[in-house]
A and B are shown apart, each in its own frame.
Chain A
Amino acid sequence: NAGVMQNPRHLVRRRGQEARLRCSPMKGHSHVYWYRQLPEEGLKFMVYLQKENIIDESGMPKERFSAEFPKEGPSILRIQQVVRGDSAAYFCASSPGTLNTEAFFGQGTRLTVV
């Protein structure tokens, strides 16, 4: 049973370009979460999705950021017109649809904006 798969592991973008980060949850998991981690800081919640639905996007900037989790395929975090401040590690986690279980994290995508 493969774990949470994220790709790419490292992504370099120039200012103004778009970044697309992908996350495939663990098999049997229907809940996906995206977190951002800046150097020397903790994980900050961005968005929580279930298949075809955004449940909670309270941590995601209103502009330039969007997320989806289609019926088929991975969850995508999309950042348009990237700026240097978007440079961070972006982690995806997944969990089954029960409350008393932990979330499993992927290896993260390290985005560098140059």
Chain B
Amino acid sequence: GQNIDQPTEMTATEGAIVQINCTYQTSGFNGLFWYQQHAGEAPTFLSYNVLDGLEEKGRFSSFLSRSKGYSYLLLKELQMKDSASYLCAVRPPGDYKLSFGAGTTVTVRA
């Protein structure tokens, strides 16, 4: 099974950096995903890590350490529109479905 933990809430100031951590305990692993979800809307894909290291995509970066069962999503130069829930999800080996954490609600203040 999957056990995925991430903080419930985080608050940061516009222009700042926020790091959202995600730890997982799984019986196997075949990739970690980050999604963004604004209230009342569909989750949208942000990043995918399957190998250790940092993946950078504009203002968003995602890091993975498979040996530690740990990932983080880094949001730089925060904008008000970044206020949303950020979902960490793990894909088991040989499987297509995703197991999601409860999500981290990020609030960006002016």
Interface of A toward B, CB cutoff 8 Å: 4, 31, 33, 35, 41-45, 48, 55-56, 91, 95, 99-100, 102-108
> In angstroms, how far is the closest chain A Cβ from the Cβ of B1?
10
CB pair A43–B96 under 8 Å, yes or no, is no
**How far is A108 from B41 in the complex, measured between Cα atoms in Å?**
7
CB pair A42–B100 under 8 Å, yes or no, is yes
Give the A-B contact count at a CB cut-off of 8 A: 54
Evaluate whether A45 and B102 lie within 8 angstroms (CB atoms) in the complex, with A102-B48, A106-B42 already known: no
CB pair A95–B42 under 8 Å, yes or no, is no
Name the interface residues of B23-57: CB closer than 8 Å to any CB of A: 30-31, 33, 35, 41-45, 48, 50
> In angstroms, how far is the closest chain A Cβ from the Cβ of B109?
21
**How far is A63 from B31 in the complex, measured between Cα atoms in Å?**
32
Q: Does B59 contact A (CB under 8 A)?
A: no
Q: Which residues of A contact B30 (CB under 8 A)?
A: 99
Q: Which residues of B contact A41 (CB under 8 A)?
A: 102
Q: List 14 A-B contacts (CB under 8 A).
A: A42-B103, A43-B87, A43-B89, A45-B97, A48-B96, A56-B95, A99-B96, A100-B31, A100-B50, A103-B45, A103-B96, A105-B42, A105-B43, A108-B42
